[in-house]
Amino acid sequence: QRSYDRFLNTKMNMSPYICGILMCVAAASAVDVWNLQQLEAAKRGNDLTINVRDIFVPAGQTLNFEFVKPGTTIVFRGRVTFGYKEWRGPLVILKGRNLKIKGGAGHIFDGEGRRWWDGTGTNSGKIKPYMFYVQLADSSVRGLTIKNSPAHTFAINDCNHISINNVMIDNRDGNRFGGHNTDGFDVAKSHRVIIANSTIYNQDDCLAINSGTDITFQRNKCIGGHGIAVAVGGYDVNEARNIVIRGCRCLQTKYGVRIKTLLNGRGIVKGVKIENILLKDVTDAGLLIIGNYLNSGPRGEPTGGIPIEDLTVNNVRGNVLAKGTNINVFVANARNWNWSSNIQGGQRRLPCKGIPNGLRIPCG
């Protein structure tokens, strides 16, 4: 018995030293990165955390987090900047599985977009790079701050089961210096995506969903820009199902919420819920749902090759400026809609067409 007691006492007395060793091991499991060469070394290593400090990405190169080991946490802790070149980008790639990506205190991605901005966006003029390409699974992105994207900020493509939370996209300088096509979040071919609690200042869509399933955009604030859109047609996949847009605010945007399907396109939009949306001083249209969309603008009669089915509009409220339209619906082959809205102020009257039988929508 005495031998056993001595063993227990020895084990208990050693426990602080063991804990100290474990703490040292935990501390040693993080690596700091200050350049692209160190990032490549960190991806080959076994550290559980990669701390990205002040880092300059040379012109025409990408800050590439592809091939980071599953289970890694990536923390941005400094100022990330990029050299100037006319190219498509992206400037940053976030790609992998089971990753946690975080923004630390004081960090920023500064795209310095004014070097590219010329008022034409990605349509013409200078060739402008996308900011982030995201292809993640079972991962989270939280607390990032982005300023002055040259063009589209987040291209979210082929993602599955991810959350993006508490992101700040600040492209306000683009209002004065020719920013255009500075989309906040573009989502395509992705499933089980949540984007929440984020703020977007920009000069194009706050959110644009081109395809995917089970996508939720909630408690976000869109300021300036073109508001929130489900835009389907013209891609290799043209289906958007089970989309929830909830608890968002659109402030001084061109549009509130839009569903737009391509003229003569083929696909489906099914199960969209637009709930508890506040509009304030929207300029052109509060709710716009059209089936004759082209990039150059709506044209002709709506076509029904991409029907909008099982749509719910609930408690969409607020105001449109006098020269705008409160609500415009111009579709074909729509069915099974539910609608409750209170949008006022717009005095421009546009004809509505294709509203499902038995549903009353206060067009105009």
Give pLDDT tens digits along the chain (364 positions).
Answer: 544 344 334 443 444 444 444 444 444 499 999 999 999 999 999 999 999 999 999 999 999 999 999 999 999 999 999 999 999 999 999 999 999 999 999 999 999 999 999 999 999 999 999 999 999 999 999 999 999 999 999 999 999 999 999 999 999 999 999 999 999 999 999 999 999 999 999 999 999 999 999 999 999 999 999 999 999 999 999 999 999 999 999 999 999 999 999 999 999 999 999 999 999 999 999 999 999 999 888 999 999 999 999 999 999 999 999 999 999 999 999 999 999 999 999 999 999 999 999 999 999 8
146-165 burial, b for 16+ CB within 10 Å, e for fewer? bbbbbbbbbbbbebbbbebe
Instruction: Reply yes or no: is the peptide bond before residue 90 cis, omega within 30 of 0.
Output: yes
Number of C-alpha atoms within 13 angstroms, CB side, residue 278?
Answer: 11
Looking at residue 364, its pLDDT comes to 84
Gap between the Cα atoms of 232 and 238, Å rounded: 6
Triad 205, 209, 210: Cα angle to 5°: 115
Q: Residue 8 has what pLDDT?
A: 38
Q: Is 173 a catalytic residue?
A: no
What is the C-alpha to C-alpha distance for residues 337 and 269, in angstroms, rounded to an integer? 12
Residue of 170, 183, 186, 204 marked catalytic: 204
Cβ atoms of 54 and 77 closer than 8 Å: no
- Residues facing residue 231 across a β-bridge: 260
283 Cβ neighbours under 8 A, 6+ residues apart: 252, 253, 254, 320, 321, 323, 324
How confident is the model at residue 7, as a pLDDT?
34
Per-residue confidence (pLDDT) for residue 235, from 0 to 100: 94
User: Can you list the domains of the chain with their CATH numbers?
Assistant: 35-344 (2.160.20.10)
φ/ψ of 209, rounded to 5, equals -100, 115
Q: Rounded distance, CA 244 to CA 278, Å?
A: 15
Distances (CA, A) of 281 to 168, 171, 199: 22, 19, 17
Per-residue model confidence (pLDDT) at position 296: 86
Strands 308-320, 63-64: pairing is unpaired
Tell me if residue 191 is catalytic.
no
